[in-house]
Amino acid sequence: MFVGHNSNNLSTIKSKTLKRNWGVFMDPIRLGVNIDHVATLRNARGGSFPDPIEAAKIAKKSGADGITAHLREDRRHIKDDDINRLVNEVDLPLNFEMAATKEMLNIASIFKPHSACIVPEKREEITTEGGLDVVGQSDRLREICNELTNMGSRVSLFIEADEAQIMAAAELGVPVIEIHAGAYSDSNPEDSFAELDKIKNGIKIATNIGLECHVGHGLNYQNVEKIAELRDVAELNIGHFLIAEAVFSGLGNSVKRMRELIDNARVQQE
């Protein structure tokens, strides 16, 4: 949720679009780079290298509009000091992914991140396995969302593209949802169209009731363009693929390539 940043990217994109003179430019899409797995690599051996804050700075130079980091309960990758340094050393807005717990709410109150995305979290999972159950946890989530809003963070809920969950999120008064793209990203070619349709339908429902829509989880070079082509997607948050691709091509190159793909997808061919 990186509103108001990276206007230079927008100017460059518009200029390129005018030079092509063959398409119509849609609203720009923001790219949030998740640097969690730079910290995973660091923690595998201990010490301070590779530094996720340096990764965030490279991402900024390469076209990112913001940085996403998930401070998990077990601190398996991002640590508390990483959040402190991201807030104080990186001139990009921080999207603080957090579980709906009192501990994380207290940490958010200290750092006051630009935005806070509430995600489900289970200790035994390898990565986030699905969306929040907003319907079943509305009372607890309402209190946390209100406190985050009052401290100045823009709140989003990480949910499935399910009408009941979308309506429940809207009822809580949050401005943004982030749709979990895991089923789409993991699907085979035969099923991907159906999964994409689910995302499209969810975005349509959410947009019609005034919610801003973001998408994340599992996006890569092969599947991102179909998501970026969706007019009402305002932001993509991408992490694991970019960090993994960086092993072969370098982080700057992987972010630049993703930036190019999603920007080009915003040009509708006539």
Q: Which residues are catalytic?
A: 70, 97, 217
Sole residue written with tokens 């679009």: 17
At residue 131, the 3 state secondary structure works out as coil
Please say whether the dihedral angle defined by the alpha carbons of residues 154, 67, 93 and 48, taken in this order, is positive or negative. Answer: positive
Sole residue written with tokens 């406190």: 147
Q: Quote the CA–CA distance of 52 and 42 in Å, as a whole number.
A: 8
Given the DSSP bridges, would you call strands 23-25 and 267-269 parallel, antiparallel or unpaired? antiparallel
Calculate the CA dihedral of residues 118, 245, 125, 179 and round it to 10 degrees. Answer: 40
DSSP structural state of residue 186: H
Q: Quote the CA–CA distance of 156 and 97 in Å, as a whole number.
A: 9
Q: Is 181 in contact with 213 (CB distance < 8 Å)?
A: no
At residue 148, the 3 state secondary structure works out as helix
For residue 253, give the nearest of 231, 228, 224, 221 by alpha carbon: 221
Q: Quote the CA–CA distance of 247 and 244 in Å, as a whole number.
A: 6
- Which tokens hold the place of 135? 């319907």
For residue 144, give the nearest of 156, 159, 127, 160 by alpha carbon: 156
Amino acid at 3: V
